[in-house]
Amino acid sequence: MSSSLLTVFIPTFFFVSLTPGMCMTLSMTLGMTIGLRRTFWMMYGELVGVGLVAAASVIGVATLMLQYPTVFTVGKYLGGLYLGWLGIQLWRSRGKMSLGGDTAQATNYSPRDLAIQGFITAVANPKGWAFFIALLPPFINDQQPLFSQLSLLLSIILSIEFLCLILYASGGRTLNHSLQKSGNVRFINRIAGSLMAGVGIWLGLS
């Protein structure tokens, strides 16, 4: 891939990744409720999912998925229902992710659950598939080895995505601290619950 193409790809993907979406909203929500450090587990799962979607878009696996839309649809709805249920639990100040009146962070949500949550959100996002299918192929030169080009693109994509996830999670943590100073713990849970439920509805209806 030429340097001129990279100068176009990097800012394009950065601004697209920075735009609020399902994964970024999820990162902000978790940053608000469980803190930046534990949100990294969700980020790891999300980055695996994004890498899978990006690689599949380049090598053509996405075409196979289009031939079996039922499987994709079922997974999308299940993921949406799961996130919606978590949102309701947060709104009611219940569940492992909610903040108690005298606790700074929820601690019972397992790293595995967080990673799966991030992975599902990334893989079941139809807009992510559409974006990568449209964006990545033009940057692939069929006269050069595919593996080296794909490796370079994935390293750029995952680095930018990780940076944006951290920015959103940090914003959620800052909002958490500001609201806790005024004792609005229930309000934090309701904001986070609304965002989580919104991500679930978005995922189900997309």
Reduced 3-state DSSP string for 48-105: HHHHHHHHHHHHCHHHHHHHCHHHHHHHHHHHHHHHHHHHHHHHCCCCCCCCCCCCCC
First-to-final CA distance of the chain? 33
Would you say 54 and 154 are in contact if contact means Cβ atoms under 8 Å apart? yes
Residue 58's nearest CA partner among 127, 151, 187 is: 151
| CA–CA gap between residue 194 and residue 20 (Å, rounded) | 15
Measure CA 104 to chain center.
24
Q: What is the pLDDT of residue 63?
A: 57
- Domain carrying residue 15: 3-205
| CA–CA gap between residue 45 and residue 50 (Å, rounded) | 9
Instruction: Supply 164's token pair.
Output: 């944006």
pTM of the complete model beyond 0.75: no
Supply the Cα-derived Rg of the chain in whole angstroms. 18
| CA–CA gap between residue 45 and residue 51 (Å, rounded) | 10
Q: What is the pLDDT of residue 13?
A: 79
Residue 108's nearest CA partner among 125, 94, 126, 120 is: 94
| CA–CA gap between residue 70 and residue 75 (Å, rounded) | 9
Domain count, the chain: 1
Query: Which residues, given as ranges, of the chain have pLDDT below 70?
Result: 1-5, 20, 60-69, 71-72, 75-76, 79, 83, 93-108, 127, 134, 137-138, 142, 177-189, 192, 196, 199, 202-204, 206
Q: What is the pLDDT of residue 162?
A: 95
Q: What is the pLDDT of residue 104?
A: 42
Render pLDDT for 40-90 as a digit per residue (tens, 0 to 9). Answer: 999 999 999 999 998 887 776 555 555 666 766 776 677 677 767 777 777
Q: What is the pLDDT of residue 62?
A: 52
